[in-house]
Structure 1
Amino acid sequence: MSVSMVVLASRPTDWTHEQFTIWWRGPHADAARVLPGLTAYRHGAVTKDYDNPEAPAWDGHAVLTFADQAALDTAFSSPEWKAATAQTRGMGGRRIILITEEVDLLAETSNG
């Protein structure tokens, strides 16, 4: 079963949403996409916050997928992980990081 790290993040207070998205999809993505064992890497920029439409609480999310927990653990202990996370130290902003076991619910219905 694949395992994903899901990150929900808000930008540093002195950055615009656009600056944060460009950084996340550019230099930070360059550092993260080389993680050992990474099988999928998706980023979404928040375009609407239904709970707080006037002032969105979050700027984006990322989903980094690995074959299993062992592959994720290997990535976490790699120099590539240290390099990618070093970019975020002291940035400010907020984040939530979740580790999930994923099931493709569309595949289940089409194979059933």
Structure 2
Amino acid sequence: MAVSMVVVASRPPDWTQEQFTAWWRGPHAAAARVLPGLIAYRHGVVTKDFDNPDGTGWDGHAVLTFADQQALDAAFASPEWATATEQTKGMRGRRIILITQEVDLLEEGADA
């Protein structure tokens, strides 16, 4: 079963959303896309927060998918992981990181 790390993050207080998106899709993506075992990597810019329509506290999300928990654990133990996470130290934004087991609900029989 696929396992994903889902990250929801806000930018550092002195960055614009455009700066944050450029960093996330640029140098940070370059460091993360080489994680061993990574089979999918998606990023989204928050354009609307339904729970806080006057202004969101979040600027983007990323989903990094691995074949299984063992592959994710191997990525966490890798030097590539150390390099990718080093970039985030001291950024002063907020984040939520969730590890999820995924099922494709569009696949026939996925609800079983």
State the TM-score, normalized to the length of structure 1.
0.95
Percent identical residues: 77
Query: How large is the Cα RMSD of the aligned pairs?
Result: 1.3
What code does the residue aligned with 2:94 have?
Answer: R
Other-structure match for 1:71: 71
Q: Secondary structure at the match of 1:24?
A: helix
Give CA-to-partner distance per residue, 1:24-78, whole Å, 9 cap, x none: 0000000000000000000000011111122211000000000000000000000
Task: Report how far residue 91 of structure 1 moved.
Answer: 0.4
2:14 corresponds to: 14
Could you tell me which runs of 5 or more consecutive residues in structure 2 were left unpaired when the two chains were aligned: none
- Structure 1 regions of 5+ residues with no counterpart? none
Find the residue that maps to 2:108 and give its secondary structure: helix
Q: Which residue of 2 aligns with 1:56?
A: 56
Q: Does 1:87 align with 2:87?
A: yes
Aligned partner of 2:80: which letter? E
Alignment length, in residue pairs?
A: 111
Aligned to 2:58, the other structure's residue is in SS state coil
Look up the match of 1:104.
Answer: 104
Q: Which runs of 4+ in 1 moved over 6 A?
A: none
Code of the residue aligned with 1:54 in structure 2: it is D
**Residues in 2 aligned to 1:19 and 1:108: alpha-carbon distance in whole angstroms:** 41
Superposition TM-score, scaled by structure 2 size: 0.95
Counterpart-to-counterpart distance in 1, 2:88 and 2:4: 19
Task: Give the Cα–Cα distance (whole angstroms) in 2 for the partners of residues 105 and 11 of structure 1.
Answer: 31
Paired AA for residue 11 in structure 1: R
Partner in structure 2 of residue 3 of structure 1: 3
